[in-house]
Amino acid sequence: MQGIEIKNLTYTYSQKTPYEKKALDNVSLKINEGDFVGIIGHTGSGKSTLIQHINGLIKPQSGSISVMDINLNQKKPKPDLKRLRTEVGMVFQYPEHQLFDDTVEKDIGFGPKNLKLSTEEIKQRVQDSMELVGLDYNDFKDRSPFDLSGGQKRRVAIAGVIAMRPKILILDEPTAGLDPEGKEHILTLISKLKNDVSPTVIVISHDIDEITRFATRLIVFNNTKIAFDIPMAELFKHEDELVSMGLAVPMAVRLANSLKKKGIALKGNIITPQDLNASVEAYYNNKFNNSESNVLIDTATSAEVRS
């Protein structure tokens, strides 16, 4: 299968010591090629452990996992981790902490070089990756990665991962610690990468508003288990569950649901501010059903969204 298949995966850190800690409890999951998955959950809910399994960085203790037809449970012959890691690109939290080389070009070329590609091919890939993340090749190639700004460093680090041309791209908290502008850059970049490089993208985030902007499927982790796994469009049905887990609910969902309680039932699946905008407009148009009030409605809509 051209995706990820996980069955009954359980993982415990520091087994048989007083520091023993369960990280994953009987998790089953199937991610198909082309999925755009957002994963949310509290710190320690098992998200990071799960994605480390997908890249073969931790061996499964119990349960089975297979990625792009590579069976990670196999003992003999050992699973082809080299191929796995070219198929699955992994951007860790604060990826700029892993930069090490003296120039941006060499650092981005580290992955392709490990693949033993030709010098021209490496150069080509570095150039393409830099272009994708929006760093000018000639401007940046000879600069030290340590002299760049936080947002630029992160883009260099991401370029280093996509230079491997992975089919599956996993990002762990890709916007953590960036300013709003840097965040915006990364979010746009992720959507672009999904179209141009990696057909399957998995993003872990704390910020649900951020995830609703692009992911089409949402997996919520709670306490080492998958709480629910839904198409993003059904998110509005799960407000109470999210609240009971202490997780944030997207602003638009919150607003639409509280309007509903007040007797104003908006139509459609409202997840993003754009959905909300459209629904409110439709609601007003429907209610007053005359074109004169359109101006008034527009101001009312944007006022609602802003609040």
Residues that bind other proteins (CB under 8 A): 13-14, 17-18, 52, 55, 57, 82, 85-86, 88-90, 92, 95, 97-101, 110-111, 114-115, 146, 160-161, 164
- Count Cβ atoms within 10 A of the Cβ of residue 176 and give its class: 0-12 exposed, 13-18 middle, 19 or more buried: middle
CA atoms within 13 A on the CB side of 202: 29
> Closer CB to other proteins, residue 100 or residue 288?
100
Q: Which is nearer to other proteins, 111 or 174 (CB)?
A: 111
Nearer to other proteins, 73 or 98 (CB): 98
Strands (DSSP E) found in the chain: 4-13, 21-31, 36-41, 62-67, 70-71, 88-91, 168-172, 200-204, 217-222, 225-231
CA distance 35 to 47: 17
Instruction: Between 84 and 135, name the residue whose CB sits nearer to other proteins.
Output: 84
Q: How far is the CB of 132 from other proteins (least distance, A)?
A: 16
For other proteins, the closer of residues 28 and 114 by Cβ is 114
Q: Please tell me the distance from the alpha carbon of residue 272 to that of residue 250, in angstroms, as a whole number.
A: 7
Smallest distance from other proteins to CB 126, Å = 13
Residue 282 burial (10 A CB sphere; 0-12, 13-18, 19+):
middle
Least Cβ distance, residue 90 to other proteins (angstroms): 4
**Minimal distance in Å, beta carbon 5 to other proteins?**
20
Minimum separation from the CB atom of position 163 to other proteins (A) = 9
| Pair 161, 95: CB distance under 8 Å | yes
Q: Which is nearer to other proteins, 20 or 179 (CB)?
A: 20
Shortest distance (Å) from residue 64 CB to other proteins: 21
Beta bridge partners of 27: 9
Tokens representing 305 are 């969204």
Residue whose CB is less far from other proteins, 17 or 307 = 17
CA–CA separation, 107 vs 214, rounded Å? 29
- Token digits for 125? 């890939």
Taking the complex as a whole, the smallest distance from the CB of residue 115 to other proteins amounts, in Å, to 6
